[in-house]
Amino acid sequence: MIRPALRSSVLGARALVPARRSFSASLSVRDAAGSLPAKKPVGAFRGGAFGFLAGAVAAGAAVYYYILGEYRVCNEMLTEDITALQSATQKLQTYVGELEAKVNQLKKK
């Protein structure tokens, strides 16, 4: 719809206007004057080391409490087994004592 002569003049004016966004690494004058000072980055090594240590401490604490719980359960089971073994040994000892007494009575007759 635009006339060819008008279209060429609009395109020609656009070609003379510098691009609003350039691909250069330097800051534009407008950005350099009104911006705040840039934050100093933490750094990949410091951040990575802190994250690794925090994760290792958290994992270590979780494993410690898990093993502590398993130790308590195993310790209680072992104590129950020792108590059962002691009672079985006492019963066997009384039974053997009764048998020896009966054998001695039979030998005396």
Q: How far is CA 31 from CA 8, 18, 20, 24, 34, in A?
A: 33, 17, 13, 13, 6
Q: What is the pLDDT of residues 53-98, one digit of tens each?
A: 999 999 999 999 999 999 999 999 999 999 999 999 999 999 999 9
- For residue 4, what pLDDT is reported? 53
- For residue 108, what pLDDT is reported? 87
Q: What is the pTM of this model?
A: 0.47
Closest Cα to residue 54, out of 67, 39, 62? 62
pLDDT band for position 49 (50/70/90)?
A: confident
Mean pLDDT score of the chain, rounded to an integer? 79
Task: Tell me what percent of the residues of the chain surpass a pLDDT of 70.
Answer: 59
The residues near 14 (Cβ < 8 Å, ≥ 6 apart) are: none
In angstroms, the CA 60 to CA 83 distance is 34
Place of tokens 């000072």: 37
Q: What is the pLDDT of residues 57-66, one digit of tens each?
A: 999 999 999 9
